Structure 1
């Protein structure tokens, strides 16, 4: 009887917590629902605040496809984001691997200098980067898009911090067996740090996919535009079709949601520094 009373008391105490969590969950999900609802209504209905689902999704989608190069922009975003994700996590993991597992005082000084780069805003480096890439004839190219973000201080710091959980004894045993340093990295470090790679991939892909300012500067041709640039162009001019705009936002949001939901478990483990 006492156990049942204790359970009932605990459940009563948790009622305010549950109510609070329900309200927060509703506030978190409502913008997503409103985006889907607006994508199925006309611009006039969206402007009047209609929140129920409508029957104009196909019409809005056709207007989006006919008036804009949706599939080209989608393909460009996939190409740039995947290239940046793969190359960035490879380079930053190599850097984090070297900084932590081949540790000395000089590397600590260099790592501190790298961390100082996090304090420099992106806008401050945009003009020099544009002039540099323009002189290298890399405008409107995938390489021009990904070069400034191939090595980021945040990813290097994340890989270095998580590399502290990597067993050094395993490296020494591998060296005794004749495995090279590159072999240790590829055959031992990468499989054991897969949670960190997943977290880094989610972060990098989302940042690359949602990037707007740098592509707006470096991509000067219409055929090189990405999805955020296409959505920004939809809201330009004298009038804005909110139904078409919300369809574009929905299509832009789907890839990042899929990546996060597929890798959410590994993302949580990578952020906490789990090593398997």
Structure 2
């Protein structure tokens, strides 16, 4: 490759990287400035970090919102990984025409937008509130249950299972392991990179989920972080410095999860099995 082509390539990549990272940098600098400076478009760091942080904790209960988001995200991720991987394992290892039809129906469900099922879903949970209040309206369980398993996650695990070495299952069966034992003791450890990739996707999706929690959760003590940030921005005179500080705080958990598991994420997305 000639020097001119290399220079053009690195220039293009540099511009693309700057465009991608600029919103994040602007968010960080805005969290250190006053609301007036943010409105003016100031891009230089300010000296109002402590003030914005103090005012944020004084104006809203962000600690409770973070805890609610953590409960919802962690529970959803753990349940999703187990159930979706179990379904993907079953669809691929025990293939049949009937199972392929069911799997095709699951894939078709991905085409239905959430807005189309939002009202029926709310009505269903409203009826559950009278018989099972613990999983009805205005509960964290009501947020978790509809998002526990998605068709995409089942599809993701089934596709990854295609590369799973079937000889390991045969060896386990010879050793006397049950199918559940094979799944837990052989399949799950072998597919750890796939679990890592699926876990990151599910955790981020659950942490940033806004529409369904907004519909289900009605009490201020049950609101999640996206709902809290929306509340800060919907006031008559929003303080953008405080809003940006709240966004920075809400970004930290997902950023930590991704950075600590990024190697497994890349390996899981490429479908490698070790």
User: Does the pair score TM above 0.5?
Assistant: yes
1:16 is matched with which residue?
8
Displacement of 1:173: 1.6
Q: TM-score, normalised by structure 2?
A: 0.96
Q: Distance in 2 between matches of 1:179 and 1:11?
A: 59
Which structure has the larger Rg over C-alpha atoms? 1
Structure 2 gap ranges (5+): 130-135
Q: Does residue 1:182 correspond to 2:174, yes or no?
A: no
Q: How many correspondences in the alignment?
A: 268
2:132 is matched with which residue?
none
2:236 is matched with which residue?
238
Which residue, 224, 227, 237 being the options, matches 1:226?
Answer: 224
Q: Does residue 1:39 correspond to 2:26, yes or no?
A: no
2:50 is matched with which residue?
58
Displacement of 1:242: 0.6
2:171 is matched with which residue?
173
2:133 is matched with which residue?
none
Q: Distance in 1 between matches of 2:5 and 2:51?
A: 50
Structure 1 gap ranges (5+): 1-8
1:1-276 equivalence runs, <5 A? 10-137=2-129, 138-276=136-274
Q: Distance in 2 between matches of 1:128 and 1:151?
A: 18
| Further displaced range: 67-76 or 169-178 | 169-178
SS in 2 for 1:136: helix
Displacement of 1:10: 3.0
Displacement of 1:132: 1.1
1:130-158 deviations in Å (ceiling 9; x for gaps): 11112112122221111111120000000
Q: Distance in 2 between matches of 1:49 and 1:126?
A: 37
Q: Distance in 2 between matches of 1:13 and 1:112?
A: 45
Q: TM-score, normalised by structure 1?
A: 0.95
CA root-mean-square deviation: 0.9
Displacement of 1:275: 0.7
Q: Distance in 2 between matches of 1:120 and 1:56?
A: 45
